[in-house]
Structure 1
Amino acid sequence: MNGFANTLRAEWTKFRTVRGWVLATVAAAGLIVALGVMPGMEGTCGRHGPGSGCELPLGPGGEEVTDSFTFLHQALAGDGSITVRVTGMTGILPGGGPNGRDDRGDPNSGNGTGDPGSPSGRGGADGPRHGVAPWAKAGLIVRADTGQGSTYAAVMMTGAHGARMQYDYTHDLAGGPDAATADHPRWLRLSRAGDTVTGSESADGVRWVTIGTARLPGLPATAQVGLFVTSPQYTEAVHAGLASGAMGGPSQATGTFDHLSTGDGWTGTAWQPDVIGAAGDPGGAGDPGDGPTSGAEGFERDGDTLRLRGSGDIAPAVAGAAGLGVSISQTLVGTFVGLIVAVVVGCVFVTAEYRRGLLRTTFLASPGRGRVLAAKAAVVSGAMFVTGLAAAAAVVTLGQRVLRGNGVYVHPVPMLTELRVVAGTAALLALAAILALGLGTLLRRGVTAITAAVVLVVLPYLLAVTILPVDAARWLLRVTPAAGFALQQSAPEYPQVANLYTPADGYFPLAPWAGLAVLAGWAVVALAVAAVALRWRDA
């Protein structure tokens, strides 16, 4: 133990007495902070007077949500059920074409993907086109009230995901995969017993299959119940040459229903059409130029047939191309520059001794070669961890203020998530430095080792956020050391929310701890192979 402590002290003395290594470490922190707090991204929150503050409603669990849809409802008291037959869904999607723009430049307009009132914000030169968004929804819903963020449970048909039951924004249960058409309509039913709601589906209205059951503790005795239709932001990835981006805009859906009935003790008043979520609000009901602006405009009745037209979504709010604003991960855009410095320092911490022939002297002073390598790893990773910790703490704190000052909406996260992102950034730099140290030991030449380290750690990340299609980018960020960037992820992905979920928007394919495991695995393997090579070859 004393032998390792002495070796560690000796390696730390080397590190702190070489001015270039110390300055490089300080520079790494400075670059991360500078790129994180410098003015850049601009938004519209608070830039258009009172009421433009980009505030999102909160769901029952305190999470930010999108809550906008067309609602045909009545107040119903007590336990009972409501049943309807869905005979079809039609819709309008934003246009495509080569002139569709990347709308992520302003993440803070009404639907998070550009100006929904401009033609290009609706998807490009070709104009709107017929089609149903995959997560467009038409069905039955029971809510505590008509206020945004109310507790709810809904059973629905979707554009491309069959029948579903969803409740309280974050919960999604799959039913049958079939779509509802005029030739093959689908029946839906919601049943309430106290604070428990059950969603069911049927092909003929006789034989019913339960999709799921939800318990809603905040559901009052008298609830708002009825039909709803909504259709979320529709976004597509765009690749032009070496550039990638997103284009799209608000979509709209029309659901056709008949055989609407309530039973089992529920009695209500007249049906009332309404739109939940004012058009143009951050959680609003789509394009204020195209979507319904009142319940009457979104509702038609022809005998027993009912048609509802709606835009928006009932779901957790997300950052990115199909959402609003950014996550705190995007304050750490300068991490890749600090990472380059970290791998350079990790490499030269050993290659400098090879170049000057000093490694033999080091081994004479401390004969245990593995112990020397372990001490070097501890010193360089410790220095980079402290550097990353200080830089990330400053950026996450100050970067959010800069973005909000520029009118950019930044999704708030719990304190524990902020701490994990800060500590994760520090671990990313530390493990990358260990990996670079191992490569430097194996390759011996500084330029060769630095190039290899940058290609392994930094280049995959840069390709993923700038050039590669989403699927290729996500694959690369699963298998390379750049998987460690997942430690900076602060916003969860929701399968039931249509979004591109790109690395550029702070979404990574692995969970934070899985990304840590991949990067740590690369670092451990590199260091272990380096230790074996160091033992069996001349210094």
Structure 2
Amino acid sequence: MTADPYQSRLREGPYGFADLVHAEWTKFRTVRGWVIAVAVAALAIVVFALAPGQQGSCNTVGCTVPTGPGGEEVSDGFYFVHQPLTGNGSITARVTSLTGQIPDLAGAAMRSGLVPWAKAGIIVKASTTPGSAYAAMMVTGSHGVRMQYDFTQDLPGLVGAASAASPRWLRLTRSGDTITGYDSAHGTHWARVGTATLAGLPPAAQVGLFTTSPQYLQTSLGEASVSGGPSVATGVFDHVSLTWPGGSWAGGNLGGGGGGPGNTGFSQAAGTFTITGSGDIAPAVSGGGGVGVTVAQALVGTFAGLIVLAVVGAMFMTAEYRRRLILFTLTAAPRRGRVLAAKAVVAGAVTFAAGLAGAAIAVVLGQRVLRGNGAYVYPAGALTQVRVIAGTAAVLAVTAVLALAIGTILRRGTAAVAVVVTVIVLPYLFTVAAPILPSRAAGWLLRVTPAAAFAVQQTLIQYPQVSNTYTAAYGYYPLPPWAGLAVLCAWAALALGLAVFLLRRRDA
């Protein structure tokens, strides 16, 4: 990029910091190439958002995700053996076995295996409508006994797996809209696991036994590659008792449960229930263990805009060295640190404004394009979208300031841009855009390099009770949004400090 020549706009005589900022702004806006470059950066963000990309099948098959009591999107699929029961009471059952089948990725249809969060247990649910409130006690594949309720809450109970030699007794009691869960190893001494308040639980709730098994995942290349498929689980129950007046049991797949291979269903003989189910009762997630994309998909052009703005930031200083105009600037403003600070204010403000406009348009229109292509986009609240837009603009602004500082240190625009690309763009490409690094290495890069700032674009929550590939490639960063941005700010602050130090010590 060739910068047009400009004259120093600093007046002679005393001046304040506002005068320095005004002078630097005048320099910036009179160089046509820089102004065009900033506009191109904003346009690049929008163009990438509108380009054909992520495809899906929601236009043909429809994509409807249930909503939980808290407004979050959820998975609510399982095989349910239940009956309507009214008023207060309790249900007790003993689980003597939990086994499963998982996809055989070597070629055979299925093989024996149990996913860690396969579940078999008892449940009190407001209705059979997917997403309705519930509380459940369950045995899991490898996480022991758990009490879970309203999809996001998870409490630990007894450790270990259920077997005929070491069964697990489970109990739920209802008092109004309060459900209390208990477990026992022998059915004589009970321990309270937790209590849940299910707001609006109707007098007549659905109570019974369930089994479900979520997606099986197998990762390779350090979680850079994910494969898998639906799984099934079979739970065996006996000693089932109700303190309500009992009726007849009905069984069926709830909420799309039963999508796994093989047959789901239940059988009852001599007081023993055998239930086979597939699906999950948990928050919905994106990634290898889920479906859909996030708002961040509409901002894939951020890195392109970032490179352009890094060039502008670096040249804002290096152009003065190349044309020897820095001599006039520092003669008119001998306090060199203030000159660099004024340049940082102008570079940051201009790039923030451009990034804000580009990101806002990309988020609004990009989501429409994705949905028009049949992709499922996980909803994000208005405040979350504002945070993503403002955070993206902040990343671009701080990157421009970082490039300005590195340009001051190196005095070479090409070298400064190369450094920015090395510490921001390459880590992003290798961990997010085209992940080729093991998850631990990728997580480390996204904690200590300036690329950590892209965490401002994440809108998803990690749930320990949901197996998934929680990596940046799927929208899960190792740092919270503003912590990631703070890493970039720290790099920029250190670079600015070094730049001021060298600017004061070196000849112009």
Equivalent residue for 2:185, pick from 203, 206, 212: 203
Q: Given the alignment of the two structures, is residue 427 of structure 1 paired with residue 440 of structure 2, yes or no? A: no
Aligned length: 493
**SS in structure 2 of the partner of residue 46 of structure 1:** helix
User: Could you tell me which residue of structure 2 aligns to residue 438 of structure 1?
Assistant: 405
8 Å Cα contact 2:120-2:209 kept in structure 1: yes
Please list the CA deviations of residues 107-130 of structure 1 after superposition, one character each: whole Å capped at 9, or x if unmatched: xxxxxxxxxxxxxxxxxx343221
What does residue range 96-175 of structure 1 map to in structure 2 within 5 Å? 96-97=105-106, 125-175=107-157
User: Kindly tell me: are residues 126 and 339 of structure 1, through their superposed partners in 2, closer, same or farther at Cα, counting changes over 3 Å?
Assistant: farther
8 Å Cα contact 1:483-1:519 kept in structure 2: yes
User: Could you tell me which residue of structure 1 aligns to residue 250 of structure 2?
Assistant: 272
Equivalent residue for 2:262, pick from 275, 287, 290: 290
> In structure 1, how many angstroms separate the alpha carbons of the residues matched to 2:192 and 2:415?
62
Q: Given the alignment of the two structures, is residue 42 of structure 1 paired with residue 76 of structure 2, yes or no? A: no
Equivalent residue for 2:281, pick from 307, 314, 319: 314
> In structure 2, how many angstroms separate the alpha carbons of the residues matched to 1:395 and 1:504?
20
8 Å Cα contact 2:59-2:372 kept in structure 1: no
Q: Given the alignment of the two structures, is residue 215 of structure 1 paired with residue 197 of structure 2, yes or no? A: yes
**SS in structure 2 of the partner of residue 197 of structure 1:** strand
What 5-or-longer segments of structure 2 have no aligned partner?
A: 1-13
8 Å Cα contact 1:135-1:497 kept in structure 2: yes
Q: Given the alignment of the two structures, is residue 352 of structure 1 paired with residue 352 of structure 2, yes or no? A: no
**SS in structure 2 of the partner of residue 68 of structure 1:** strand
Identity %: 58
Please list the CA deviations of residues 272-302 of structure 1 after superposition, one character each: whole Å capped at 9, or x if unmatched: 1121023xxxxx5423x5353xxxxx10223
Structure 1: which amino acid aligns with 2:403? A
> In structure 2, how many angstroms separate the alpha carbons of the residues matched to 1:351 and 1:95?
59
User: Could you tell me which residue of structure 2 aligns to residue 5 of structure 1?
Assistant: 18
Equivalent residue for 1:535, pick from 480, 493, 504: 504
How far does residue 236 in structure 1 lie from its aligned partner after superposition?
2.4
Q: Given the alignment of the two structures, is residue 390 of structure 1 paired with residue 357 of structure 2, yes or no? A: yes
How far does residue 318 in structure 1 lie from its aligned partner after superposition?
1.7
8 Å Cα contact 2:75-2:282 kept in structure 1: yes
8 Å Cα contact 1:24-1:345 kept in structure 2: yes
8 Å Cα contact 1:233-1:286 kept in structure 2: no
> In structure 1, how many angstroms separate the alpha carbons of the residues matched to 2:249 and 2:439?
45
> In structure 1, how many angstroms separate the alpha carbons of the residues matched to 2:437 and 2:99?
33
> In structure 2, how many angstroms separate the alpha carbons of the residues matched to 1:530 and 1:359?
14
Equivalent residue for 2:421, pick from 443, 447, 454: 454
Please list the CA deviations of residues 448-468 of structure 1 after superposition, one character each: whole Å capped at 9, or x if unmatched: 211111111111111102211
Equivalent residue for 1:259, pick from 239, 263, 270: 239
**SS in structure 2 of the partner of residue 396 of structure 1:** helix
**SS in structure 1 of the partner of residue 16 of structure 2:** helix
Q: Given the alignment of the two structures, is residue 25 of structure 1 paired with residue 38 of structure 2, yes or no? A: yes
Please list the CA deviations of residues 2-46 of structure 1 after superposition, one character each: whole Å capped at 9, or x if unmatched: 511111111111111112211211111111111111011111112
How far does residue 431 in structure 1 lie from its aligned partner after superposition?
1.0
Structure 1 or 2, whichever has the larger Rg, is 2
User: Could you tell me which residue of structure 2 aligns to residue 247 of structure 1?
Assistant: 227
How far does residue 526 in structure 1 lie from its aligned partner after superposition?
1.3
What does residue range 484-499 of structure 1 map to in structure 2 within 5 Å? 484-499=453-468
User: Kindly tell me: are residues 366 and 126 of structure 1, through their superposed partners in 2, closer, same or farther at Cα, counting changes over 3 Å?
Assistant: farther
Please list the CA deviations of residues 174-200 of structure 1 after superposition, one character each: whole Å capped at 9, or x if unmatched: 223322122211111111111111111
**SS in structure 1 of the partner of residue 242 of structure 2:** strand
8 Å Cα contact 2:59-2:373 kept in structure 1: no
> In structure 1, how many angstroms separate the alpha carbons of the residues matched to 2:322 and 2:469?
47
How far does residue 149 in structure 1 lie from its aligned partner after superposition?
1.0
Normalising by structure 2, we get a TM-score of 0.94
What 5-or-longer segments of structure 1 have no aligned partner?
A: 98-124, 279-283, 293-297
8 Å Cα contact 1:163-1:177 kept in structure 2: yes
User: Could you tell me which residue of structure 1 aligns to residue 103 of structure 2?
Assistant: 94
How far does residue 499 in structure 1 lie from its aligned partner after superposition?
1.4
Equivalent residue for 2:66, pick from 57, 81, 93: 57
> In structure 1, how many angstroms separate the alpha carbons of the residues matched to 2:139 and 2:153?
16
Normalising by structure 1, we get a TM-score of 0.88
RMSD: 1.7
> In structure 1, how many angstroms separate the alpha carbons of the residues matched to 2:489 and 2:188?
56
Structure 1: which amino acid aligns with 2:38? T
> In structure 2, how many angstroms separate the alpha carbons of the residues matched to 1:285 and 1:372?
67
Please list the CA deviations of residues 295-316 of structure 1 after superposition, one character each: whole Å capped at 9, or x if unmatched: xxx1022323221111111111
> In structure 2, how many angstroms separate the alpha carbons of the residues matched to 1:380 and 1:17?
14
